Homo-oligomer: A and B are copies of this chain.
Amino acid sequence: MTHSTPPHVAILDDEPEIRRMLADALEEAGFRTTCYGRATEFEAGLKRTAPDVCLVDLGLPDRDGLAVVHRLALESGAAIIIISGRAQVQDRVTGLELGADDYIIKPFDPAEVVARIRARLRKGRVETGASSQVAHFAGWRAHFDRYVLVDETGTETPFSHAEGEVLRLFLDSPNRLITRAQMQEALGGAAGESFDRAMDVRISRLRTKLGEDPKNPRLIKTIYGAGYIFLGEVRWA
């Protein structure tokens, strides 16, 4: 199920600048954060709130970081990501073996930390089942789980799997050129084939279902000689 509140990330690192940097990047990315400088505080904090992800630095003043990770792995359901300056393979292997889900080496780029946290959360959500597969755009709702388009009046129009592949491609990167080659690749058409016409047809059918005016399509624009652009604001729910 979807988080109604933003996911919560706990940060355990003894260096204030690093905490700051991580917290800033994560909040920027839409997460809630809590920072701790010592393992004792951290473990006390866990008793109050259960974070979704824990970022743990191994170099702690008051406790062995690996011991913290191990306890965490046993007792908490949170995803555990180690951040450490110790770059040896052996360090990484033991960290992961003790229950960490990921191991990031210092110095790190905050963008990668965010991406790795997202990857962990994404995976966690799958196990609860229904991934929310609904996109809102231009008055439409596309339900990829039920294969239906719903317009403003609530009328449902089913779409097929092939149409869905195209639509998903568009909704995944709106307002951005998608070349025919990219589309072909994404739709699994083997290269060099006469898949071109088939693609046109898929798009044509999709346009029809979206009620596009053939003379003046508002959502799926053709870029002659290049590809297509899907226009509009897309919100995934």
Contact = CB atoms under 8 A, between A and B. Distances in A.
A201 interface: no
Nearest to A158: B216
Interface stretch (A3-11, A12-20, A202-210, A220-228): A220-228
B174 A129 contact: yes
Interface size class of A (residues with CB under 8 A): 35 or more
Count identical subunits in the complex.
2
A175 B145 contact: yes
Interface in A153-201: 158, 160-162, 168, 174-175, 182, 185-186, 188, 190-191
A45 to B, nearest CB: 14
B161 A226 contact: yes
A-B interface, 4 closest residue pairs, ranked by CB to CB distance from nearest:
A129-B233, A96-B115, A89-B109, A93-B115
Contacts of A71: 186, 188
A126 to B, nearest CB: 6
Contact of A40 (B89, B90, B190): B190
Interface SS majority for chain A: mixed
A150 to B, nearest CB: 13
21 contacts: A43-B188, A63-B185, A63-B191, A67-B186, A70-B186, A71-B188, A74-B168, A92-B112, A93-B112, A93-B114, A96-B112, A96-B119, A97-B118, A100-B119, A101-B123, A128-B233, A129-B233, A129-B234, A130-B174, A130-B175, A162-B224
A237 interface: no
A77 interface: yes
A24 interface: no
A32 interface: no
